[in-house]
Amino acid sequence: GENVGLHLPTLSVQEGDNSIINCAYSNSASDYFIWYKQESGKGPQFIIDIRSNMDKRQGQRVTVLLNKTVKHLSLQIAATQPGDSAVYFCAENNEGSARQLTFGSGTQLTVLP
Amino acid sequence: KAGVTQTPRYLIKTRGQQVTLSCSPISGHRSVSWYQQTPGQGLQFLFEYFSETQRNKGNFPGRFSGRQFSNSRSEMNVSTLELGDSALYLCASSRHENTEAFFGQGTRLTVV
């Protein structure tokens, strides 16, 4: 069949507002999760990670929340800036199966001036 | 501290040719994994190496292969290139399998 592009969810926020990006993961055995930011023409950039024995982790301006019951991750970005505009991916890893990250389809974040 | 380095950054090849891509991990990192990124399929896992051994392989044909050297540098090879192999090939390194994985800038391969 025709190879169409992935339909990326999009999120537009005003500069200075908080952003929340959501991700549903697929494997209930996954126990390590990473959020990446990817700007056009660049490789994914590590933002923050969380292990399954935690439900919240905070970094600089970012917070990741993990809900294992419904297999859901979210990334919260405080005081969103124009430089935050990018595609954001969540990735899951089952630690028992070596390093194999399974990525979500990504969310395009656009920060409006 | 230097990041993950991938070479070359851009490559144009003809159908039927083969190509070798290189990845130098962050110093001290022993795990190197490879991913293919396309608009149609997103980011897909190719394979992972740790201490020169392939530990895991994704659902790609045998035309895709790789290896890792004693200094942890890794190469991936694609033989008999097809148009559909055009993609951004990304390499990620991590100290162990359950620690942060850092990506390089990728190699943009175009098959014509």
| Cross-strand pairs, B80 | none
Closest CA to A13 of A77, A96, A60: A77
Residue A6 one-letter amino acid: L
> Are A46 and B101 an interchain contact pair (Cβ–Cβ within 8 Å)?
yes
Closest among B20, B5, B8, B9 to B66, alpha carbons compared: B20
pLDDT digits (tens, 9 = 90+) for A37-52: 999 989 999 999 999 9
Q: B112: buried, middle or exposed (CB in 10 Å: 19+, 13-18, 0-12)?
A: exposed
Q: How far is A96 from chain B (nearest CA, A)?
A: 9
Q: How far does chain A reach from its first CA to its final CA, in angstroms?
A: 40
pLDDT class for A6, splitting at 50, 70, 90? low
Out of B31, B45, B106, closest to residue A43 by CB: B106
pLDDT in tens, B84-105: 999 999 999 998 767 889 999 9
Give CA torsion, residues A25, B33, A61, A72, to 10 deg: 10
Helix (H, G, I), strand (E, B) or coil at A51: strand
**Contact residues on chain B for A97, CB-CB shorter than 8 A:** 56
SS3 at position A95: helix
Q: What is the mean pLDDT of each run of 10 residues along chain B (112 residues)?
A: 92 98 96 94 94 93 97 97 98 86 96 98
> Is the CB of residue A5 less than 8 Å away from at least one CB of chain B?
yes
Chain A closest CA to B108's CA: distance in Å?
A: 9
Q: For A98, which of B6, B56, B100 is closest by C-beta distance?
A: B56
CB contact under 8 A, B90 and A102: no
CA–CA dist B92, B5 (Å, integer): 10
Token reading at B74? 């890794």
For chains A and B, count residue pairs whose Cβ atoms are closer than 8 Å.
Answer: 74
pLDDT > 70 fraction of chain A, expressed in percent and rounded: 90
Residue A44: closest CA among chain B residues belongs to which residue?
Answer: B103
The reported pLDDT for the residue numbered A100 is 86
Window 34-73 of A: residues touching B by CB (8 A cutoff) are 34, 36, 42-46, 49
Cα dihedral sign, A52-B95-A83-B110: negative
Q: How many CA atoms lie within 13 A of B4 on its CB side?
A: 33
